Amino acid sequence: MKHDKLNYEWCYISGRVNVLECQLLSMNFYERLLSSQNIGNLFANLNNTHLKKYFTHVKHLYEFEMLLDDYYYDRLYEIRTLAPDTGFCDLFLIKNDVINLKNILKASISDREPDRYLRGTIDKDKLNAVWQVGVKSFPEVLNEAVLYFKGEMKYLKKAWMPFIIDLIFDSAYLKYIEFVCRDNSADIIRRYLAIYRITRVIKIIMRVLTLKLAKGPFEKYFLTGLNANNAFRELVSGSTQLSEKMLCEMLVETHCYTSPAEYENIVKILSAELSKKISYRYDIMTDNYLMDIIRPAKYTPFGAEKVFGYLCGLTTEFFNLKLVIGGLIRGVENNLLRERLRKTYV
């Protein structure tokens, strides 16, 4: 009965998502966009889509980043307002809160104003208040990260602080993802978040190894914040190479649901591209794999997974549009843009 009631509460927003899904852009559209011969053609192609509301004049192409931000967050906040539970929408916004927090803290230790503010779940004033009093609406794990950094500041050299801030808050963000994953009742969302988390952890580890950053602070401020860290520590120590066996161990040690078949699939995807240097292909392959996991949510009549799947598709569309429009305006070769496109939701 509880499950039926929950699904019933998602009926209206699921109907709205059905409409919005039809407006998402397919890979064929990006091919047409890439075939644009000039700015006028580019504008005409955009004007034949729902984006014409934002790009009403060819000159708006030179403001594409701001206008695409407006498009993406208009949709995201609309869904957030209508949803019976904002948690699924917040998954797409908390990352911005984390970036904002990191920027505020880095700016404060340098006695300057933050460089930018991204739209998240809390506004600038509340974010600034986190340092003094915390914010009730903020995930507890992020408030704890603020307190942890405050307690560690007196032991840190100023030059190390930006690096430590990144480690503490990246770890807190991934821990937040783990909490959401563990408490989620929708199998497809749990699977998606489990794989998302493991790919991000490995990416951060490989970046540290590639840049030859200090392993001591990395283990203390990043790995200790994650529950599943045995295989991660082994990898960072350099005592072993990243193998299919180790990848399977990392997946098993995560506390989210993933099936043995999914272990095999993601291990193949990761092993195909992982080396001591993670290239842009790692992001493409893992993003595409995640899209393959979530795409069946389209066929759910109503429920949280229906909404979450659409938001994943919307986020990918936001990335692809910025990539292609920005690349075409700046004269980047089409093939370079094409090979970096992510799979679409439709």
pLDDT of residue 214: 78
User: How many Cα atoms within 13 Å fall on the side-chain side of residue 166?
Assistant: 11
The domain limits of the chain are: 7-340
Cβ neighbours for 146, distance < 8 A, ≥ 6 positions apart: 101, 130, 131, 134
Which of the four pLDDT bands, split at 50, 70 and 90, describes residue 118? Answer: very high
Average pLDDT over residues 58-62: 93
> Mind listing the pLDDT tens digit for each residue in 68-108?
999 999 999 999 999 988 888 899 999 999 999 899 888 88
* For residue 263, pLDDT beyond 60: no
Contacts of residues 307-310 at CB distance under 8 Å and 24 or more positions apart, as own/partner, are 307/10, 307/13, 307/14, 307/17, 307/79, 307/83, 307/88, 307/89, 308/88, 308/91, 308/186, 308/189, 308/192, 309/188, 309/345, 310/17, 310/20, 310/21, 310/24, 310/79, 310/345
**CA–CA separation, 111 vs 131, rounded Å?**
15
Q: How far is CA 334 from CA 34, 242, 315, 326, 327, in A?
A: 6, 34, 22, 12, 8
Which one, of 210, 218, 142, lies nearest residue 180 by Cα?
Answer: 142
* Contact (Cβ atoms closer than 8 angstroms) between residue 345 and residue 316: yes
* For residue 343, pLDDT beyond 90: yes
* For residue 255, pLDDT beyond 60: no
The CA radius of gyration of the chain, in Å to the nearest whole number, is: 21
Minimum mean pLDDT range among 12-21, 58-67, 188-197, 247-256: 247-256
Provide φ and ψ at 342, rounded to 5°: -95, 155
Which of the four pLDDT bands, split at 50, 70 and 90, describes residue 116? Answer: confident
What stretch of H or E contains 336? helix 334-338
* Contact (Cβ atoms closer than 8 angstroms) between residue 293 and residue 312: no
156 Ramachandran zone, left/alpha/beta (phi>0; psi -120 to 50): beta
* For residue 238, pLDDT beyond 70: no
* For residue 224, pLDDT beyond 60: yes
Q: How far is CA 229 from CA 171, 202, 224, 236, 238, in A?
A: 11, 11, 7, 10, 14
- Which is higher by pLDDT, 256 or 302? 302
* For residue 276, pLDDT beyond 50: no
